[in-house]
Amino acid sequence: MTNAIKCLNYIDGNWISARSHDRLESRNPANSQELVATFPRSSATDVDKAVVAARQAYKSWRTVPAPQRAEYIQRIGELLLQEKEKLARLMSREMGKVLTEARGDVQEGIDCAFYYAGEGRRLFGQTTPSELGNKFAMTMRVPIGVCALITPWNFPIAIPCWKALPALVCGNTIVFKPAKDTPACGTMLIEIFAEAGLPAGVVNLVHGSGKEVGRALLEHPDVDLVSFTGSSTTGAEVGETCGRTHKRVCLEMGGKNAQIVMEDADLDLALEGALWGAFGTTGQRCTATSRLLLHKEIKAEFTTRLVEQTSKLRLGAGTDSNTDVGPLVNSTQLKRVSDYLEIARNEGAKILIGGQVARGEELKNGYFFQPTILDDVTPDMRVAREEIFGPVVSLIEVNSFAEAIEIINDTPYGLSSSVYTRDVNRAFQAMRDIEAGITYINGPTIGAEVHLPFGGVKQTGNGHREAGSTALDVFTEWKTVYVDFSGKLQRAQIDNR
């Protein structure tokens, strides 16, 4: 209890308590008796303080030359690199992912920092000829203002970095609300931002619940943009409120990703991909593989081998180097996954392996669920359509490539997708016809790199893409500038006709 980290809010360059003295807890999901951190239950009053500070800081931050802003981002990258192991260990304790993956999560933040630091010397606009003589036309990116970043717990360093670093290099200021399950990771990240020497008010951190802090950010008249990653239900609410309050909004929501395995695929490769896609991060990734569309000719063999490999996966604390699959993040997720298994049973799916909360002396205080494979799943079942966010994968048999494409598209979501085939024609058809923001050929559904656009179609997103140069489109507006050096009034569409 005494070792628990005491998280504070960070507002206008100061670490401070919330107005209310209520504190919330973050516990180790591998052993819920271990208290990892306590954090303030902030309210609309604390949010207001942070937004006021961000608005004030914006006045000067927007005019700092982008290459100078980028120097802070570069420094953040260097500090993240220095603290990588410490951050990864904290993450593993706080939200359960295995250490190798936690290191990957931090590395994504580091990659992001170095990528957006470089962007400080680009942020390109365009010049184009004017239709009139002695007139110059150009476009430039301008920052938007105060950005609220509302993030989930499954990538507690990578996702905030994806949002904060492009936002900052573009000249915005931010108010960050981390998820309730990962306040200590959020705090350590902002400690690094503070150490990088960002001016007071440029970055602010407000802890608390979605209902209080999240909502207050959405309603605050001085927040210009909301960047949200989380569930589709919450995202819909965020979008609705931002529509009403005239905010820019970028939404990254759920997925129901599938991997197709055709009869001509390299089955060893496809098997490895399926295991990593389905059970990596305990299935708690928005890009996790939750459906396997298996061609009838290879289904029996593939299934036998998949079950065999799955039976070898070792459950345990993410901090233990022998662990393959860590716990679910909290009791709510454990119940949600258990409820989906009940739904699967009632719908007539067959459980080939797993299907239960994991028992055992070492697991009893954690939120462990057995890696689970469901067979005889049909595309209309709820388990084939809804996001489960746990170590559960559904097998669906397909008779042809055309049928596989039809089924892969038959969900409300469209984030990631994967096809294993040796046929180049099928590969290109898949790239063209799959309705998803991301398609992997001969790779699993997970594995995004920071310099490429990330996001999805249909109910996964609202048309934006994070990461890469596309994130700049989220965090800037275009300004069009005409410079007339003719010394006279020149009327477009009129005087040149």
**Distance separating alpha carbons of residues 300 and 31, to the nearest angstrom:** 38
Active-site residue among 286, 387, 397, 466?
286
> Nearest-CA neighbor of 442 among 257, 256, 271?
271
Told to check if 234 binds ligand ADP by CB under 6 A, we report yes
Told to check if 73 binds ligand ADP by CB under 6 A, we report no
Binding mask 238-277 for ligand ADP (x = CB under 6 A): x---------------------------------------
Told to check if 214 binds ligand ADP by CB under 6 A, we report yes
**Distance separating alpha carbons of residues 440 and 97, to the nearest angstrom:** 24
Within residues 476-495, the interface with ligand ADP by CB under 6 A covers none
Told to check if 176 binds ligand ADP by CB under 6 A, we report no
**Distance separating alpha carbons of residues 289 and 374, to the nearest angstrom:** 13
Q: Which of 2, 21, 129, 211 binds ligand ADP (CB under 6 A)?
A: 211
Distances (CA, A) of 339 to 153, 288, 332, 471: 21, 19, 10, 36
**Distance separating alpha carbons of residues 85 and 156, to the nearest angstrom:** 14
Strand order in the sheet with 135-143: 127-129, 135-143, 476-484
Told to check if 295 binds ligand ADP by CB under 6 A, we report no
Where are the alpha helices (H) located in 245-330, listed in sequence order?
Answer: 267-279, 296-311
Told to check if 151 binds ligand ADP by CB under 6 A, we report yes
Taking CB under 6 A as the binding criterion, the range among 60-68, 91-99, 204-212, 465-473 that sits at the site for ligand ADP is 204-212
Told to check if 215 binds ligand ADP by CB under 6 A, we report yes
Q: Which is nearer to ligand ADP, 230 or 280 (by Cβ)? A: 230
Catalytic residue list contains 78: no
Q: Which is nearer to ligand ADP, 234 or 378 (by Cβ)? A: 234
Told to check if 29 binds ligand ADP by CB under 6 A, we report no
Tokens of 340: 């989906």
Tokens of 49: 């303080």
Q: How far is the CB of 151 from ligand ADP (least distance, A)?
A: 6
Size of the site for ligand ADP (CB under 6 A): 18
Q: Which of 75, 84, 163, 180 binds ligand ADP (CB under 6 A)?
A: 180
Told to check if 298 binds ligand ADP by CB under 6 A, we report no
Could you count the other beta carbons within 10 Å of the beta carbon of residue 342?
Answer: 10
> Nearest-CA neighbor of 161 among 91, 108, 210, 206?
108
Told to check if 190 binds ligand ADP by CB under 6 A, we report no
Catalytic residue list contains 191: no
**Distance separating alpha carbons of residues 217 and 239, to the nearest angstrom:** 13
Q: State the residues that interact with ligand ADP by CB under 6 A.
A: 150-153, 177, 179-180, 209-211, 214-215, 218, 230-231, 234, 237-238
